[in-house]
Amino acid sequence: MKPEIVIYCCANFSAVSEEDAEKIIPEDHAVLRISRLPCSGRTDVLYLLRSIEAGATMTMIVGCPEGQCQFVEGNLRARMRVRYANRLLAEAGLGEDRIQMVNIAPGDGIAFAAALRNVVARAREIGPL
């Protein structure tokens, strides 16, 4: 079964579209849904849990490298929320790595492709809820 991955991207990654992502991950390997946030710090624990509850196998949050957030500490807050959301999922018996935070410099397509391939590979291993 094709895993569904929800990707929350910081606005600095505005160039990344679903079509771009599908060039990295062929359509028949995974369903990719990209949602743009003004900053990765806008990530909310409730969004993260609800995306898994709604059927996503994994969720990936793409923020800028630490120390380079336009809003100073948005990506650090996102990292703490991701840690908390994974803890809540673990309590519910869903493992503790369904939500992954990656820090990538805007425009670094190679790093984005590598991160996305890792997440899809992990999603295929663990399967949906």
Partner 1 sequence: MIVAERKPFDEIKTALAGCRKVFILGCDTCVSVCMAGGKKEVGLLASQLRMSFKKDGKDIQIDEDTVERQCNREYMELVLSRLQDYDLVVSMACGAGVQLLADLSEPLQILPGVNTRFIGMTPQDGTWEERCRACGNCILGETGGICPVTVCAKGILNGPCGGTDHGKCEVDKDKDCAWTLIYHRLEKMGKLDNIRKDFPPRNHLVQCHPAKQVHEVYKGE
66 lines the binding site for partner 1 (CB under 8 A) = no
* In the complex, minimum distance from the CB of residue 92 to partner 1, in angstroms, rounded to a whole number: 4
Residue from 88, 111, 114, 126 touching partner 1 (CB under 8 A): that is 88
45 lines the binding site for partner 1 (CB under 8 A) = yes
Residue from 11, 92, 105, 121 touching partner 1 (CB under 8 A): that is 92
Token pair recorded at residue 42: 């806008």
10 Å Cβ neighbour count for 117?
A: 13
Let me know: does 39 contact 70? Beta carbons within 8 Å. Answer: yes
99 lines the binding site for partner 1 (CB under 8 A) = no
Angle at 108 between CA 11 and CA 4, to 5 degrees: 65
